[in-house]
Amino acid sequence: METLASLAHAVTESLELSEVLDRVAHAATELLPDSSARIWVMEGERLVLRAEHGPHGAPQSGFKGALAVGEGLTGRVAATGEILIVEDVADDPGTINREWMRQQGYVSFIGIPLSVRGRLLSVLALLTRHRHDFDDEQVALLTAFGSHAAIAVEHARLYKEAKDTRDFLEAMTENSADAIITTDTHGRFTYFSSGAQDMFGYRAHEIMGHRVADYYRGGIDEAQAVMTQLRAEGKIRNRELGFRAKDGRWVETSASISLMQDPNGQVLGSLGVVRDITDRKKAEAAQREAEELRTITTLATTTAHEINNPLLVVKGRLEMLEPRLPEDSTERKWIEQSLIACARIQEMVARMQRIARVQYLEGESRSLPRLFDLRKASDTEESPGTPPPPASPKSR
What are the residue ranges in the chain where pLDDT is below 50? 358-396
What is the pLDDT at residue 378? 39
Q: State the pLDDT at residue 352.
A: 73
Question: CB 114: neighbour CB atoms within 10 A?
Answer: 25
Q: Are residues 226 and 158 in the same domain?
A: no
Domain boundary among 246, 276, 306: 276
In this structure, the answer to whether residues 147 and 15 fall within a common structural domain is yes
Bridge-based pairing of strands 250-261 and 235-244 is: antiparallel
Give the DSSP H or E segment for 120. strand 119-128
Which among 276, 309, 328 is the end of a domain? 276
CA distance 183 to 216: 14
Q: How far apart are CA 39 and CA 34, in angstroms?
A: 17
Say if residue 262 is in the same domain as residue 310: no
330 and 388 part of one domain: yes
Q: Give Cβ neighbours of residue 394 (< 8 Å, ≥ 6 apart).
A: 323
Domain that holds residue 286: 281-395
Burial tier of 387 (Cβ tally within 10 Å: 0-12, 13-18, 19+): exposed
**Quick one: 130 and 213 in the same domain?**
no
What's the pLDDT score for residue 308?
81
Buried b (16+ CB within 10 A) or exposed e, 199-233: bbebeeeebeeeebbebbeeeeebbeebbeebeee
Q: Say if residue 50 is in the same domain as residue 35.
A: yes
What's the CA gap between 165 and 114, in Å, rounded?
24
For position 292, what pLDDT does the model report?
82
The CATH number of whichever domain residue 107 belongs to comes to 3.30.450.40
Residues 157 and 258 in one domain: no
Residue range 287-332, pLDDT digits in tens: 888 888 778 777 777 787 788 888 888 888 888 888 888 888 999 8
CB 6 within 8 A of CB 30: no
Pair 254, 199: CB distance under 8 Å: no
CATH number at residue 244: 3.30.450.20
Residues 45 and 157 in one domain: yes
Give the pLDDT confidence score for residue 143 in this predicted structure.
92
Same domain, yes or no, for 135 and 99? yes
Q: What was the pLDDT predicted at 258?
A: 93
Same domain, 63 and 103: yes
Sign of CA dihedral 245, 247, 249, 252: negative
The one-character DSSP state at 216 is: B
Do 34 and 146 belong together in one domain? yes
Residue among 198, 193, 202 at smallest CA distance from 174: 193
* Same domain flag for 201 and 76: no
Do 292 and 364 form a contact (C-beta atoms < 8 A)? no
Report CA torsion sign: 225, 227, 232, 235.
positive
Q: Residue 4 has what pLDDT?
A: 61
Which residue type does 387 have? Answer: P
Exposed/middle/buried for residue 135 (C-beta within 10 Å: 0-12, 13-18, 19+): exposed
As a whole number of angstroms, the distance between CA 63 and CA 65 comes to 6
Identify the CA nearest to 86 among candidates 104, 110, 64, 103.
110
Number of domains in the chain: 3
**Final residue before a domain boundary, out of 252, 276, 300:** 276
Contact 159, 174 (CB under 8 A): no
Those residues whose C-beta lies under 8 Å from the C-beta of residue 21, and which sit 6 or more positions away, are 39, 41, 50, 51, 122, 153, 156
Q: How many other β-carbons are positioned within 10 Å of the β-carbon of residue 280?
A: 12
Whole-model pTM over 0.85: no
